Amino acid sequence: MIVMGIESSCDETGVGIVRWVGDGTLELLADEVASSVDEHARFGGVVPEIASRAHLEAIVPTMRRALAAAGIAKPDAVCVTIGPGLAGALLVGVAAAKAYAAAWDVPFYAINHLGGHVAVDTIEHGPMPPCVALLVSGGHTHLLHVEDLGRTPIVELGTTVDDAAGEAFDKVARLLGLGFPGGPALDRAAQDGDRTAVVFPRGMTGPRDARHDFSFSGLKTAVARFVEARERAGEPVPLADVAAGFQESVADVLTMKAVRAAQDVGVDTLVLGGGATANSRLRELAEERCAAAGITLRVPRPRLCTDNGVMIAALGAHLIAGGAQPSALTVGTDPGLPV
């Protein structure tokens, strides 16, 4: 069975093709991505209208490149992200997927983007054991419980009550004048800093937080207050130390809560996903804490952590193998789709 995945929920147009080898094992046949990230840079964030137009221009060429790379004329099934994401951006991928599925006369499957971020790990690390997944990107911060990928629903253990982790990186980077996307720039700036010089708050880490939720807006405000106070006093802002202190707070909270969630649900594997898992301190702390807790850590390579079509194909293949029925061609997009 050869499965195609189409992704257009944000600023990446992705078409991925995988082969279901069996027993939760996938072979990667194609991974084509066109990004409009450069077109958004001067606006300091993703502009939905620009993203939609870029998808329109990129979708057919990206599709052709993927088919050529896989060496096939058509797949056995077409899967597409229907949400969560930007409404106009999602529409482009969904319209294309329906058109191709109808023209090729193959089944069509509506896929949840968040589950895709989890499933993509099987490309690199093979069949997925019961696990907790931590998704961190510009748009999402989620702790998920995966029991039997493709066969039992993924359960949300917690999410952010305000800003996504990547969004906090982007906002703090902008505050510090580091540009967009801010995550990588802030990570680099933090390399020269002392992460204990300025200590910022850890949101929602109290013992009474039954759900595994996150909050990052207080942290962002704390950084803003710190910078303002320095500027008012006419003192220089220790950029590298602020970046390192902020990054330490985010990485500390994310890894502490992820390990706690894994222990609470009784699994011994933690999967990371999403673009912000590129963060060096987050990876380092996750490794340290998982090792200490006897938890196996699985982190896909960066290319698979950011948005792509392969993740949609990977989840689709698991669902199809699990007996899921095709979606109707009348299914719509759902920008606020929950897990």
Residues of this chain that interact with ligand KG4 (CB under 6 A) are 10, 137-139, 166, 169-170, 181-184, 187, 274-276, 278-279, 306-307
**Beta carbons within 8 Å of 118's beta carbon, 6+ residues apart:** 128, 133, 135, 144, 146, 149, 154, 271, 273, 315
Shortest distance in whole angstroms from residue 223 CB to ligand KG4: 14
Site stretch for Zn ion (CB under 5 A), options 76-84, 86-94, 211-219, 306-314 = 306-314
Q: Establish if 307 lies at the interface with Zn ion (CB under 5 A).
A: yes
Q: Taking CB under 5 A as the rule, does residue 11 contact Zn ion? A: no
Is 3 within 8 Å of 18 (Cβ atoms)?
yes
Q: Which is nearer to ligand KG4, 27 or 43 (CB)?
A: 43
Among residues 121, 154, 157, 124, the alpha carbon closest in space to that of 141 is found at 157
183 marked as part of a ligand binding site: yes
Q: Is 170 annotated as a binding residue?
A: yes
139 is in an annotated binding site: yes
Our CB check for ligand KG4 shows the closer of 81 and 269 to be 81
Task: Tell me how far apart the alpha carbons of residues 274 and 111 are, in angstroms, rounded to a whole number.
Answer: 16
Q: Does position 81 bind Zn ion by CB under 5 A?
A: no
The residue assigned the tokens 């202190």 is 245
In the complex, minimum distance from the CB of residue 61 to ligand KG4, in angstroms, rounded to a whole number: 21
Q: Which does 306 bind (CB under 5 to 8 A by kind): Zn ion, ligand KG4, none?
A: ligand KG4
135 is in an annotated binding site: yes
d(CA 53, CA 75): 26
Interatomic CA distance for residues 10 and 54, integer angstroms: 10
Q: Which is nearer to ligand KG4, 64 or 303 (CB)?
A: 303
| Exposure string over 18-41, b if 16+ CB within 10 A, otherwise e | bbbeeebebebbbbbbbbbeeebe
Name residues contacting Zn ion, limited to 136-195 (CB under 5 A): 137
187 touches, from ligand KG4, Zn ion, none (C-beta below 5 to 8 Å by class):
ligand KG4
Closest to 6 (Cα-Cα) out of 88, 102, 110, 87: 110
Touching Zn ion, residues 82-141 (CB under 5 A): 137
User: In the chain, what is the greatest distance between 2 CA atoms, to the nearest angstrom?
Assistant: 68
User: Please, what is the minimum distance in Å from the beta carbon of residue 247 to ligand KG4?
Assistant: 7
Looking at the Cβ atoms of 40 and 145, the one nearer to ligand KG4 is 40
Verify cis geometry, omega within 30 degrees of 0, for the bond prior to 84: yes
> Is 187 one of the annotated binding-site residues?
yes
Touching Zn ion, residues 234-293 (CB under 5 A): none
> Binding-site residues for Fe cation, please?
113, 117, 307
Which parts of this chain interact with Zn ion (CB under 5 A)?
137, 307
> Binding-site residues for substrate, please?
135-139, 170, 183, 187, 279
> Binding-site residues, please?
113, 117, 135-139, 170, 183, 187, 279, 307
